Amino acid sequence: MPELPEVENVRRSLESLVVGKTIQHVDVRLPRIVRTPDDVRQFEFMLSGCTIEGVGRRGKYLLFDVPPYTLVSHLRMEGQYRLAERGEETAPHTHVVFTFTDGTELRYRDVRQFGTMDLIGPGEPLPKGLQSLGLEPFDPQLDPHTLYQRIHHRTAPIKAVLLDQSVLAGLGNIYVDEALFRAGIHPERPANRLTKAQCERLLGVIRDVLQEAIDAGGSSIKSYVNGYGRHGAFQMALNVYGRDGEPCRVCGTEIVKLRVAGRGTHVCPVCQMRPRKRRTSHKTRNGTLLRTTGEKEFEA
């Protein structure tokens, strides 16, 4: 799924390609892509005559400013936008076509058909997923103390917490794996076991990884391309994600793949020490044998 760097690159490309263009008409070929309004014919009618005045982003969502509406688009797994000339051959799996008055077309293609579009009018609520987003990693309001406060009551593995979009918006499997590697934190470490110093380091590396990925055009692991049809290059710089069985770029140890929070997770066993087993001890109180279990200990 495209994450913050990929969606940001799509946003930037679309900003230069379609801002200022006026929509002549819209053709929705797969109705389930459009969630709001319920009637796709109404969706097509409402957008006709509107001008795209901006393209924003919130987390992994694209926000097209088409006054008086906001078109919220989530690419999900493999959604793509491409600008084409009218009459140009249409690629398979093209589900929505925005035709502009200048003769060009913005085409939405989605092989997996998981993407969504919501056309939101003035005063109407945003989609629930967008409403529940937390701060973005680059938000000036987010500092190490704030991150610590957001996670220090959570007992779930830190990877699961970072994937929670209500905690931090925009992170996904690729960049969580990469950030945890750089921070030297095992993905199974309970979030509430991170110190304030570790939170400071983690926030710093999250920002570094995301900025480097944005500058490289994102990561094209499968089908990701930006609005110009260009692939990203950051996949060439990944330290752990997708590199199971290969040597760690830092220590040479073989990268292993685990399953954490239901997701394939890539770890260096040396740079990110695994949790020790729980320790069990026995003691007596007034002649009664008691069994106590210590907390997991981590070495990262």
Residues tagged active-site: 2-3, 60, 263
Beta bridge partners of 104: 85
The residue to which tokens 């900003």 are assigned: 15
Query: Taking the C-alpha atoms of 205, 227, 48 and 22 in order, what is their torsion angle to the nearest 10 degrees?
Result: 100
> Among positive and negative, which fits the CA dihedral 152, 129, 214, 241?
positive
Q: Among candidates 230, 235, 187, which has minimal Cα distance to 209?
A: 235
Q: Residue 41 is inside which H or E element, if any? A: helix 40-47
Return d(Cα 11, Cα 23) in angstroms, integer: 18
CA dist list (Å): 50 to 9, 74, 271: 24, 20, 53
